[in-house]
Amino acid sequence: MDGLTAFINDAPLLLIAGLLFLAQCLMREVGGWIRRRVSADAGESAEEVSDKGYLLSGVLGLLALLIAFTFGLAVDRYEGRRHLVTEEANAIGTAEMRVQLLPPPDGARLADMLRDYARTRAAYGLADTTDRPSLARSSAIQRSALQTAALSSLAPVSTTALAAFVGASINAVLDIGVEREAMNDARVPLTILRALVLYALLTAAMLGYGLTGARARHRATTVILFTLLSLAILLILDLDRPQGGTIRIDQTPMTQLVAGFPPKGQTAP
């Protein structure tokens, strides 16, 4: 299970698509071989041809529904990741502004911590799958330090409205960081992907079974169909790889936030 998950998440997408295409072609030949084994009749009645057409149409329709369902799951996760980048940038920017209302030196110290945290989060968003775990651990350490520093700084003003005003913004930063990392780790369930691939292979076998006798005429058509199915599944896997495929999450909100901070070591005017 772990090996299959790692292969789906880390293997080159073109390799996965190529293997899937070849597997479908193989299953088409297997289906044709089974048909020749179980039926020695070369001719078919018009009714049998019609029944076969209805069966193949139903199978392909169900495969289309399964692809659409899986594609919807992948798009929802992609949109969720994209939305959280903007939300986290807004939360950090708001908190960085509000903590400066605290009396010195606490306000400046918290503002510096938030700027450092934003730089880590920007690097996390731009990193590939191999570098993200270490940046996620660094983010967790910074969130813990930020929480401790915030509690210490807000203690003297804990009974004032300022404490609630600043505390709520810092709490939002802490929460959304964890939420964003959880969303990046949330993939389309492996069981669904496995069912999709299995159904595509069984569909290829049924096509080979149903088109026996006319296989030479339909070979080019099935090749095009298998190519389209492989590309559709390839697109699903690409959407399901945050910063690991060709479809990447736009990190502009976070990078613009970091670019607007004063250089490290300098205090905002």
Residues 6+ apart with CB under 8 A from 94: 169, 172
Q: What is the pLDDT of residue 1?
A: 47
Higher pLDDT, 98 or 51: 98
pLDDT, one tens digit per residue, over 79-105 is: 999 999 999 999 999 999 999 999 989
Query: Which 8-state DSSP code applies to residue 269?
Result: -
Identify the CA nearest to 210 among candidates 68, 64, 63, 60: 60
Could you tell me the residue ranges of all domains in the chain?
47-259
Sign of CA dihedral 126, 127, 133, 137: negative
| 3-class DSSP state of 107 | helix
Quickly state the pLDDT bin for 32 (edges 50, 70, 90).
Answer: confident
| 3-class DSSP state of 35 | helix
pLDDT, one tens digit per residue, over 208-251 is: 887 765 555 677 888 999 999 999 999 999 998 877 778 889 99
pLDDT above 70: residue 252: yes
pTM of the model: 0.83
Tokens linked to 109: 């110290």
pLDDT, one tens digit per residue, over 178-216 is: 999 999 888 888 899 999 999 999 999 988 887 765 555
Higher pLDDT, 7 or 250: 250
Distance from C-alpha of 94 to C-alpha of 88, rounded to nearest angstrom:
10
Arithmetic mean of pLDDT over the chain = 87
Average confidence (pLDDT) over 52-58: 76
Q: Residue 54 CB: number of other CB atoms within 10 A? A: 9
Please give the share of the chain, as a percent, with pLDDT higher than 70: 88
Query: CB-based burial of residue 2 (10 Å sphere; 0-12 exposed, 13-18 middle, 19+ buried)?
Result: exposed
Q: What is the pLDDT of residue 155?
A: 92
Tokens linked to 152: 């210490």
CA distances from 156 to 94, 144, 152, 153, 162 (A): 22, 20, 8, 7, 11
